[in-house]
Amino acid sequence: MIVTLIVVCEIGFWVLLAAGLALRYLARMPRTGLAVLLVEPLLELVLLVVTAVDLKNGASPDWKHGLAAVYLGWSVGLGHATLKWVDVRFAHRFAGGPPPVKPPKYGAARTAHEWRAAGRWCLAAGVALALLQAAVWYVGDGGDTGSLRDWQTKMLIVIGINLAIALSYTIWPKQPPGGEGSDSAAGRERELGRR
């Protein structure tokens, strides 16, 4: 039942997103569209309540409960960014909005972009870790929490990978081809020589 509910919540997320954006931009009903978009967190709340009730009723915690925690973490950490990303593209495509701003490719701006992305992923994984730990405490020492612990390990790996990527951009910032436009002294001298 939990897996079915996760699938329903995921489909509901995209259906509500499409409906909310269509109302905002195609039907020119921005307040109604916003109201539909604000219903989306209720999906996650329903999933959280059903998962807790399932555990309360004596269900053995397994990978499904862990997946529910991961889904909720994703919604908290990445849901808003996903909404914003889709909203900008929908507005551009269907409502004459400005084109989406592409993420920076080089230098300190790219490094900052990678740290923001890592922060969102770490928040998602952190929320999932906290929910998983709450489930472990709820089950207690008498229950089998191995599958929940496995999900916690996976979330720690997600955090580690994202921090490693962001750190790599800090240590080795990506430079434009040929060094043009870079922050290096040689790049600045070449730029000044062209003026």
The values of phi and psi at residue 188, to 5°, are -70, -40
Four-residue CA torsion sign, 107, 110, 116, 118: negative
Dihedral angle, C-alpha 77, 81, 6, 67, nearest 10 °: -30
Long-range contacts (CB closer than 8 Å, 24 or more residues apart) made by 139-148? 139/55, 139/61, 143/60, 143/61, 144/60, 144/61, 145/61, 147/61, 147/62, 147/63, 147/65, 147/66, 148/61, 148/65, 148/66, 148/69
Does residue 184 form part of some domain?
A: no
Q: What pLDDT, on the 0 to 100 scale, is given for residue 184? A: 47
Domain that holds residue 131: 2-177
Does residue 192 form part of some domain?
A: no
Does residue 81 form part of some domain?
A: yes
Q: What pLDDT, on the 0 to 100 scale, is given for residue 180? A: 53
User: How many domains in the chain?
Assistant: 1
Q: What pLDDT, on the 0 to 100 scale, is given for residue 121? A: 97
Q: What pLDDT, on the 0 to 100 scale, is given for residue 106? A: 94
Does residue 86 form part of some domain?
A: yes
Does residue 185 form part of some domain?
A: no
In whole angstroms, what is the distance from residue 55 CA to residue 49 CA? 10
Does residue 188 form part of some domain?
A: no
- Mean pLDDT for each 10-residue chunk of the chain (195 residues)? 84 91 91 89 82 78 85 90 92 92 94 97 96 85 81 97 97 82 45 46
